Amino acid sequence: MVINRDYQVEHSLLDNLGKFLRPGDLLVFNTSRTLPAVLSGCELGQGQCIEIRLAQHLADNSWLALLCVSRGILSAMDSEAECS
């Protein structure tokens, strides 16, 4: 995924990376991983939805998780969510 200076999104292959770069550009690599486990739910009557992506099961039996709200805005990152 490429986001240009006008905040337009374009999908491309890694082989095309050079055509998007200029001197002084910064590359950011996302190395976060999540399990193929997603917990989704919506509040009845309100329509507010949340998605929890489990990233890592911790030694204290809690989870490192990524939380997303229905508006597509990351509301909390690397938050602990108690899941059993």
pLDDT in tens, 33-73: 667 778 888 877 777 788 888 888 889 999 888 888 765 44
Q: What helix, strand, coil percent values describe the chain, rounded to 5?
A: 10, 40, 50
Rounded CA gap, 70 and 51, in Å?
Answer: 8
Sign, CA dihedral 7-11-13-19, equals: negative
The confidence score (pLDDT) of residue 59 equals 93
Q: Distance from CA of residue 79 to its chain's centroid?
A: 12
Q: Can you give the pTM of this predicted structure?
A: 0.42
